[in-house]
Structure 1
Amino acid sequence: MKSEDILLSVAFFFQTGMGFLGNSFLICLFTFVFLSGSKMRSIDIIVVQLTLVNCLMLLLKGIPHTMTTLGLMNFLDEIDCKIISYFYKVTRDLSLSMTCLLSGFQAITISPTNSNWAKLKAKAPKHLIPSSLFCWTFHLLSCSYIPNGMKGPVYTSNITETQHNGYCSHKILSGYEAYLFTTIIFFSDAIFLGLMVSASGYMVFLLYSHHKQIHITCLSSRTSPEIRATKTILLLVGTFFSSNLFNCILTMYISFRKSAPWLMYTSAFLGACFPAISPFVLIISDSQVTRYCYAIWGGKITHFDPDDIVISSAQDDLL
């Protein structure tokens, strides 16, 4: 086995293992708090779904690529390839839409009471479950085209028109199919990314304005909660945007022509960066997660304010 293959397998294994542990920790934490009968935040509905799809996404992509870099080629049949490819695309799109929904809900929550979003504050929590169900239904249906282009790992008919990634192969698109595939991927991703960046930019603007007001009235040597929250939002959105943008570009490039293995491994690694990093960003920066942990370790679960937002409860000062 080549040294670069060993490094790749270690990288995929570490990324998948750490991401799985982080997401699993959050899922178990929220499940325990829910079963204890405690009052949870409305935003936790989105966070739990985001951690769940990120966990599945890591397993569906990380394990096959780890096995491939270890030299275990062609360990799936055609049905397995279709199933794994379909559910990976569903979880990847759900991760995008749930992050977008999370950003939008936060933007509405921290908006001033005299803004145009004020009327939505009371209604937003009621629409979280219907919005989540819509996202799941939409992506389960919209990704139904994925299995059609996937073939088994030993697919050899017209091999110059197929791309093999070590455990599955897919048809290289051309002509009308290529334009249709590009339109489907780019259009849906562009809408969700645009909404997510717009909502996050709006939050950054609100937090920056509030921070200026604080310094006008009272100077403090301590870093304000709003600055920490702004950095967390920028880190989450920046990580998601950058990793998924380059991954989307590489995915479209690989779909249209035969590519070197390192491009496919790079695309897979970039696509798994956000689901692997995001749970640790939330664990470190979300003050409510810290409260949940302290309550569990202390053997006492208290009733929390369900209207606290995910990044920092100190942002309630903005309301």
Structure 2
Amino acid sequence: MNSRDMVVGIIFLSQTALGMLGNSALLCCFIIAVFSGIREKPTDLIVKHLTWANVIVLCRGIPQTIAAFSQTYYLNYVPCKLALYFHRVARGVSLSSTSLLSVFQAITISPSNSRCAQFKLRAPGIIGPFLGLCWALQLLLYIFIPVYTTDIRGGRNITGIQDFGYCVIINSERLTSTLIVILIASNDIIFLGLMMWSSDYMVFILLKHKQRVQHIHRSLSPRLSPETRATQSILTLVSSFVLFYVTSIVFTVYLSALEGTTRWLSNIGVAMSACFPTFCPFLLIRHYASFFRLCCTSFYQTTRRACVVREL
């Protein structure tokens, strides 16, 4: 094993471990909340789906890491198809869930005299069906992945492939490849557009509210106002998402336009697609900081009561 493969393996291992740790912490918090009897907010269901999608995306880092450290590691025919297929599906669900989260927050904070206010009562009821629709849409959109995916042995004598170290994707005909790229890019652009629109709308509303109550904040405390902190949180989450995913989309389109790609180009694409799932839970943990404290307090109180009952 050369030094470059070792560096690639360390990068994938660190990225996967960090992302799994953060997403597992979020999932544990929600599990504790269920057992503690804490009432969940409508957005918690979106965050759960987003977290599970992030975990599936990060699972691809496991075979990538093993393939980097061991040059003789290959997936079989069927596992190879499933690994790449569900990675792409989960990546799409992560994008659509983040977009839905941003749109729902925009509807929630919209003024009562705005057009979005009429959806406030209906929005919590359509979150579940919309998430189910997102999974179904992504499952159908990426159905071509199993068709063009094969194992290393099946792709040895084929030109024009994307080599991931443990399995390969066979490039389709130019017309088919172009249509696939347009379809995938359109899906990503639509959800990114919704996310950016809703985030701009939220920032606009929060800044207007801040201007109205600015004299109150100035007289009460010199610290940042809640509106400013909320605006910064929204801008941080959306900016990081857009940065990582736009870069990933551009790189994916570039790889699809090539006749064949080397392993290191494919590794870069996989690492870039896992950037947001790795850092997303830490951004959400900051947003859910008070929720975490409440969960921990409730869990401690529940455990303490159970210990007292056992002693009695």
User: What is the CA–CA distance in structure 2 between the aligned matches of 1:253 and 1:130, rounded to whole Å?
Assistant: 34
Q: Which has the larger radius of gyration?
A: 2
Unmatched 5+ residue regions in structure 1?
Answer: 302-319
User: What is the CA–CA distance in structure 1 between the aligned matches of 2:75 and 2:85, rounded to whole Å?
Assistant: 14
CA shift for structure 1 position 83: 0.7
The match for 1:140 is 139
Please give the residue correspondences for 1:61-100 in structure 2 after superposition, counting only pairs within 5 Å.
61-100=60-99
Give the SS at the match of 2:162: strand
The match for 2:18 is 18
Deviates more, 1:220-229 or 1:179-188: 220-229
The match for 1:8 is 8
The match for 1:241 is 242
Q: What TM-score comes out, normalization by structure 1 length?
A: 0.88
The match for 2:165 is 166
Give the SS at the match of 1:169: strand
Aligned pairs, number: 300
Give the SS at the match of 2:115: coil
State yes or no: 1:123 paired with 2:125.
no
Contact 2:54 2:90 in 1 (8 A): yes
CA shift for structure 1 position 217: 4.4
Q: Deviations over 1:215-264 (max 9, x none)?
A: 24441410122222222211211121111111122222223322333322
The match for 2:108 is 109
User: What is the CA–CA distance in structure 2 between the aligned matches of 1:65 and 1:88, rounded to whole Å?
Assistant: 12
User: What is the CA–CA distance in structure 2 between the aligned matches of 1:292 and 1:51, rounded to whole Å?
Assistant: 20
State yes or no: 1:253 paired with 2:245.
no
Deviates more, 1:206-215 or 1:117-126: 206-215
Give the SS at the match of 1:43: helix
User: What is the CA–CA distance in structure 1 between the aligned matches of 2:294 and 2:11, rounded to whole Å?
Assistant: 31
Which structure: greater helix fraction?
Answer: 2
Q: Deviations over 1:122-176 (max 9, x none)?
A: 1111111111111122222222121011111122465322221201111123421
User: What is the CA–CA distance in structure 2 between the aligned matches of 1:73 and 1:113, rounded to whole Å?
Assistant: 62
Deviates more, 1:200-209 or 1:154-163: 154-163
Contact 2:141 2:184 in 1 (8 A): no
Contact 1:171 1:255 in 2 (8 A): no
Please give the residue correspondences for 1:158-237 in structure 2 after superposition, counting only pairs within 5 Å.
158-219=157-218, 220-237=221-238
User: What is the CA–CA distance in structure 2 between the aligned matches of 1:160 and 1:140, rounded to whole Å?
Assistant: 28
Amino acid across the alignment from 1:58: L
User: What is the CA–CA distance in structure 1 between the aligned matches of 2:122 and 2:302, rounded to whole Å?
Assistant: 31
User: What is the CA–CA distance in structure 2 between the aligned matches of 1:67 and 1:28, rounded to whole Å?
Assistant: 27
Are residues 281 and 270 of structure 1, via their aligned partners in 2, closer, same or farther at CA, if it must alter by over 3 Å? same
User: What is the CA–CA distance in structure 1 between the aligned matches of 2:248 and 2:3, rounded to whole Å?
Assistant: 25
Amino acid across the alignment from 2:270: A
The match for 2:272 is 270
Amino acid across the alignment from 1:155: G
Contact 2:110 2:205 in 1 (8 A): yes
User: What is the CA–CA distance in structure 1 between the aligned matches of 2:189 and 2:199, rounded to whole Å?
Assistant: 15
CA shift for structure 1 position 15: 1.0
Q: Deviations over 1:244-288 (max 9, x none)?
A: 111122222223322333322221111111111111111123244
Contact 1:53 1:91 in 2 (8 A): yes
Q: What TM-score comes out, normalization by structure 2 length?
A: 0.90
Give the SS at the match of 1:223: coil
Give the SS at the match of 2:169: strand
Amino acid across the alignment from 1:55: V
Give the SS at the match of 1:151: strand
User: What is the CA–CA distance in structure 2 between the aligned matches of 1:139 and 1:103, rounded to whole Å?
Assistant: 19
Identity rate, percent: 38
Amino acid across the alignment from 2:170: K
Note the aligned Cα RMSD (angstroms): 1.9
User: What is the CA–CA distance in structure 2 between the aligned matches of 1:49 and 1:116, rounded to whole Å?
Assistant: 28
User: What is the CA–CA distance in structure 1 between the aligned matches of 2:113 and 2:297, rounded to whole Å?
Assistant: 35
Amino acid across the alignment from 1:70: F
User: What is the CA–CA distance in structure 2 between the aligned matches of 1:211 and 1:262, rounded to whole Å?
Assistant: 48
User: What is the CA–CA distance in structure 1 between the aligned matches of 2:71 and 2:298, rounded to whole Å?
Assistant: 42
Contact 1:173 1:256 in 2 (8 A): no
User: What is the CA–CA distance in structure 2 between the aligned matches of 1:175 and 1:34, rounded to whole Å?
Assistant: 50
Are residues 134 and 212 of structure 1, via their aligned partners in 2, closer, same or farther at CA, if it must alter by over 3 Å? same
User: What is the CA–CA distance in structure 1 between the aligned matches of 2:2 and 2:291, rounded to whole Å?
Assistant: 42
User: What is the CA–CA distance in structure 2 between the aligned matches of 1:76 and 1:293, rounded to whole Å?
Assistant: 40
